[in-house]
Amino acid sequence: MAVADSMRALVLDAPERYHIDTSIGVPSPGDDEVLCRVYAVAICGTDVHIIEGKHPGQWPRSYPFIPGHEWAGEVVAAGPKALAFGYRPGLRVAGTSHAGCGYCRMCRTGRYNLCENYGSAELGHRQYGHYTQGAYATYVVHSVRSVHPIPDEMSYDEGALVDTTSIALWSAKRGQINAGDTVAVVGAGPMGILVAQCACAIGAARCILTGSGERLERSRPYGDVVDYKAEDPVQRVFEMTGGRGADVAIDCGGTKESIQQAVGVVRKGGQVVFTGVPHEAVELPMQKIVLQEIDLHGLRANRGTCEEAIPLIAAGRINVKDIITHRFDLDEFEKAYEIFKNRVDGALKVIVHP
């Protein structure tokens, strides 16, 4: 397929400083890599942290840098090994950020999201849009380990949410949800809404979402809701469950308050999953955790759930269309970024079209 010599891309020059460059050279795929034309990118909360410079020296390691890791597009060129694996030009794909080295113990046991060679590009590890160049661009190069074929009936905008949905699905699976369980989802943003849908898709009978404002209103179709600004969410969840508490709680906020709330709402012997990444120290009620045998589960991205999320989205079991609230061209990134970051008009997922 014809590929231009240059492309446009969002280039991060320093924390909170970026520009659109129209003369970036198009990268070439390696032996097991594909070059893809990017048609849609979803802004992620991690993108905000990277642009703000909250991970100095790590994400990114240096400037200039192209962020973006939730995307969908079309393969336009492939290396020899990628071709042998069936990644041919014209294939519609969705991308995800992690590509493990493939050789360490974590990768060999399927936990490539915890690759022991994280950050060692020379050993094959990649994390696209974090420290490896990302997808806010006309073209992007990815390892075949980080792209997943999507069906024709799935739009590219929906495909850009495969990565987010895969993390939501891994959050639900990490909580060891059993058929008939009640699941409390702390944080009624886009991740919280997807987690609630994934929880029900794998067997939960009921979801209770806690949050506030317009985002909480948007989450009503996916479960019962609790406004944490209007009432004590822990007390309310226990009232709604007959004094028993939720079987599983999944924190999607990553704040001190949301983490403590997630631990607070579960029953004896319950499961708590931490999907949101905290940026401060958090005190936990250790007596409850110990004496009630509460199981705590950390979570990093996902391990192999993109392949499971794609057919669920395609079949309509997980609705990603309704959480796409805004769409912009790459040239309008500043506006798109501000709307997502400041939750203007109850913004959930904002899609950018390179």
d(CA 281, CA 30): 41
Condensed to tens digits (0 to 9), the pLDDT of residues 139-190 reads 999 999 999 999 999 999 999 999 999 999 999 999 999 999 999 999 999 9
Longest Cα–Cα distance in the chain: 64
d(CA 10, CA 185): 33
d(CA 69, CA 95): 7
The predicted pLDDT at position 170 comes to 98
The predicted pLDDT at position 214 comes to 93
Does the domain at residues 6-161+320-353 carry the CATH identifier 3.20.20.80? no
Q: Report whether pLDDT(1) > 80.
A: no
Of the pLDDT bands very low, low, confident and very high (cuts 50, 70, 90), residue 100 is very high
Could you tell me if residue 176 is left (phi over 0), alpha (psi between -120 and 50 degrees) or otherwise beta?
Answer: left
The predicted pLDDT at position 2 comes to 81
Residue appearing with tokens 């409850």 = 288
345 CB-side CA count, 13 A: 10
Q: Which two tokens stand for residue 299?
A: 């979570």
d(CA 167, CA 187): 15
Helix extents (H) in 266-314: 286-291, 306-314
Helix (H) or strand (E) holding 24: strand 17-25
Calculate the dihedral angle through the C-alpha atoms of 31, 111, 310, 135, rounding to the nearest 10 degrees.
-50
Residue appearing with tokens 């057919």 = 311
d(CA 132, CA 61): 9
Condensed to tens digits (0 to 9), the pLDDT of residues 79-97 reads 999 999 999 999 999 999 9
Portions of the chain given CATH number 3.40.50.720: 168-298
The predicted pLDDT at position 279 comes to 84
* Percentage of the chain modeled with pLDDT above 90: 96
Type of residue at 233 = P
Of the pLDDT bands very low, low, confident and very high (cuts 50, 70, 90), residue 4 is confident
Of the pLDDT bands very low, low, confident and very high (cuts 50, 70, 90), residue 71 is very high
Q: Which fold has domain 168-298?
A: Rossmann fold (3.40.50)
Chain centroid offset of residue 100 CA: 17
d(CA 82, CA 143): 8
Condensed to tens digits (0 to 9), the pLDDT of residues 203-251 reads 999 999 999 999 999 999 999 999 999 999 999 999 999 999 999 999 9
d(CA 214, CA 233): 17
What is the overall mean pLDDT for the chain? Answer: 97
Q: Report whether pLDDT(32) > 90.
A: yes
pTM of the model as a whole: 0.96
Portions of the chain given CATH number 3.90.180.10: 6-161+320-353
* Percentage of the chain modeled with pLDDT above 70: 100
